[in-house]
């Protein structure tokens, strides 16, 4: 039965959250940004499982192939490391990477002679008349025996440590050719220390997202707490918190971060805390403003009339209605945290080597911009720019999506 015959009735279609999601899905720019962020998150989660160089910190160095261009390939000899066997579980490799069981020697050419493999060291010009390396065939395949007579790495035949002749030598030569002479491809080239740039960039994604996430969590905890107290209780509590906010606000962010970093020390976790302690001010101001406008609403008065405690009114009734702007500003703070971390690492007071960081990569290679290898600094700079832009655009998309105006016509 219609309330007003002759006039069609229109009811609201779905909840505000559903409408906000629909608006966000219609924003192509925000969806592309969300895809970039999702790809970065997936890269950070997989970590060493997808990097070409899965050694700790992706720090395998080959000075012979330093500063090579993208698409570079080189032949390498895998020489068994003379170290105790190190079993690397999947979880350890995923989180920290695993130490290589082999040493890799880049070369231009090789030959076998008198039970040895002779390598001509890699030379960019391809000149074969360069330094040569000689390895006994058995040294390439097997580790040196330890003091108790057992092999220190993986099982093998102890008598192969002696002189190898005839069929044994041919068998081992074939083993080297088939399994120990490989071709390494560097899709994005190598840096000044001969490290794989692609691996460094992939692990650097984990650092940037980690700093952004932890810093935003710290800023939300402090900002929401202080902003809620200031906006709800007002009076001297509001005056004290606003004074503290203005003091922190008056100090340039990068200078405050540097000061906190000097107090806490240089390192990975110190960057989290330093950046987080400087980003809560904006959150607190936004939360305070939202609560000042919500505390006089009818549903808050009803909660007071029912005898609910102030803590429950703030947590259960006011904050959920004030989280829209907080979500938007958190996306912007995430982008700011990435920029600040990159700046600190560039200055040498952020993430410390050998841990890869996009800012550290720029600091180590920025001099190559005016030489013939500008991509060494441009690639990490592009990664910073794309990820920061993605967070800013998703923040704008969330702002537009959460600005839902509903009209009900009867």
- DSSP code, position 313: I
Give me the residues of the chain with pLDDT under 50, please.
1-12, 146-166, 406-410
Q: What pLDDT is stored for residue 85 in this prediction? A: 64
Task: Name beta bridge partners: 117.
Answer: 112, 135
Q: What is the pLDDT of residue 145?
A: 57
pLDDT tens-digit map of 324-365: 889 889 999 999 999 999 998 998 888 888 899 999 999 998
Cα torsion 350, 352, 358, 364 to 10°: value is 110
Q: Using the CB atoms, write b or e for 50-62: b if 16+ within 10 Å.
A: ebbbbbbbbbbbb
Give the whole-angstrom CA distance, residue 296 versus residue 33. Answer: 37
Write out 95-150 in H/E/C secondary structure. Answer: HHCCCCCEEEEEEEEEEEECCEEEEEECCCCCCCCCCEEEEEHHHHHCCCECCCCC
Type and span of the H or E element at 16 = helix 16-26
Q: Which pLDDT does position 8 carry in this prediction? A: 45
CA distance 227 to 245: 10
The C-alpha atoms of residue 116 and residue 143 are separated, in whole angstroms, by: 15
pLDDT of residue 4: 42
Q: In this predicted model, what pLDDT tens digit does every residue of 364-404 receive, in sequence order?
A: 988 888 877 889 999 999 999 999 999 999 999 988 888 76
Maximal CA-CA distance, the chain: 106
Q: Which residues contact 299 (CB under 8 A, 6 or more apart)?
A: 317
* Cis amide prior to 354 (ω within 30 degrees): yes
Coil, helix or strand at residue 406:
coil
Q: How far apart are CA 211 and CA 343, in angstroms?
A: 13
Residue 408 has a pLDDT of 38
Spatial separation of the C-alpha atoms in residues 151 and 170, rounded to whole Å: 22
Q: What does the pLDDT read at residue 275?
A: 86
pTM attached to this predicted model: 0.84
CA nearest neighbour of 198 among 52, 71, 353? 52
What's the CATH code, domain 197-402? 1.10.3720.10
Domain regions of the chain by residue span: 72-186, 197-402
């Amino acid at each position: 039965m219609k309330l007003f015959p002759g006039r069609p009735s229109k009811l609201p279609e779905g909840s505000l959250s559903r409408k906000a999601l629909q608006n966000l899905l219609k924003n192509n720019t925000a969806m592309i940004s969300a895809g970039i962020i999702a790809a970065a998150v997936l890269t950070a989660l997989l970590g060493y499982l997808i990097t070409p160089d899965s050694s700790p910190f992706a720090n395998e160095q080959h000075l012979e192939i330093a500063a090579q261009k993208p698409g570079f390939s080189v032949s390498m000899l895998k020489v068994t490391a003379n170290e105790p066997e190190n079993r690397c579980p999947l979880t350890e490799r995923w989180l920290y990477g695993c130490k290589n069981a082999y040493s890799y020697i880049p070369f231009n050419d090789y030959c076998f002679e008198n039970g040895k493999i002779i390598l001509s060291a890699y030379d960019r010009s391809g000149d074969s008349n360069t330094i040569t390396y000689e390895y006994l065939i058995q040294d390439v395949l097997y580790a040196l025996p330890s003091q108790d007579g057992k092999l220190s790495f993986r099982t093998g035949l102890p008598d192969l440590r002696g002189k190898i002749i005839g069929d044994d030598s041919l068998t081992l030569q074939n083993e080297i050719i088939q399994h120990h002479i490989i071709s390494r491809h560097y899709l994005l080239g190598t840096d000044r220390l001969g490290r794989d740039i692609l691996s460094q960039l992939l692990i650097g994604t984990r650092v940037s997202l980690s700093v952004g996430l932890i810093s935003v969590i710290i800023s939300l905890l402090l900002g929401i707490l202080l902003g809620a107290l200031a906006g709800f209780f007002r009076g001297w509590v509001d005056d004290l918190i606003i004074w503290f906010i203005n003091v922190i606000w008056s100090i340039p962010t990068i200078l405050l971060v540097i000061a906190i970093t000097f107090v806490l020390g240089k390192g990975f976790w110190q960057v989290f805390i330093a950046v987080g302690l400087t980003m809560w001010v904006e959150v607190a101001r936004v939360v305070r403003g939202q609560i000042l406008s919500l505390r006089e609403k009818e549903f808050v008065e009803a909660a007071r009339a029912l005898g609910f405690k102030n803590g429950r009114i703030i947590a259960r009734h006011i904050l959920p209605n004030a989280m829209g702007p907080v979500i938007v500003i958190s996306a912007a703070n995430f982008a700011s945290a990435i920029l600040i971390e990159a700046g600190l690492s560039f200055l040498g007071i952020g993430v410390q080597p050998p841990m890869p960081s996009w800012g550290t990569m720029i600091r180590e290679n920025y001099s190559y911009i005016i030489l013939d290898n500008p991509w060494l600094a441009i690639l990490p700079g592009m990664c910073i720019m794309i990820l920061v832009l993605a967070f800013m655009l998703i923040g704008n998309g969330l702002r537009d999506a959460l600005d839902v105006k509903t009209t009900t016509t009867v």
